[in-house]
Amino acid sequence: MPEPKPAAGALGDIIGSTRQRMEQTENPTDRLKTLVEATQAPRAAPPASPPRAPAPSLPANYFPQIPTEFGVTPKRKPQRGPARSLHISMRLSPPERDRLVRWCDERNLSLPDGIMALIDLAEGEGAPQG
């Protein structure tokens, strides 16, 4: 006969101990008290924080070195790092992936580092200085 699972054994212990407690007491009130833990008196709610004035906004020319037209916030942060490189490598066809692996091996780079190096080259950040 297979051995009972530990979870089933623990559940049996809980059921057995509950039955035992119920059989020991005759009074229904005592029976309920043994089944339900005593609750503490409700605590008073912490006082509400006082209303504050909104933080002042920065003046339009607070950063004079940045022209106003360039101060536009992008819709989302450009994806960088391993998530972007993994996404790119998954979209490559097998021949393109082989070519990427060879390119990375020639430069002793891991695939994510190689993809980031290629992205930097394409964006002009890694262009040779001359």
* SS3 at position 2: coil
- In a structure prediction context, what are the per-residue pLDDT tens digits for the chain, which is 130 residues long? 555 555 556 656 767 776 776 666 567 677 667 666 666 666 777 777 777 777 777 666 666 666 666 655 655 555 555 555 556 666 777 788 788 888 888 999 887 888 888 888 888 765 555 4
> Model-level pTM?
0.31
Supply 2's token pair: 């297979």
Cα–Cα nearest to 119, from 95, 88, 96: 88
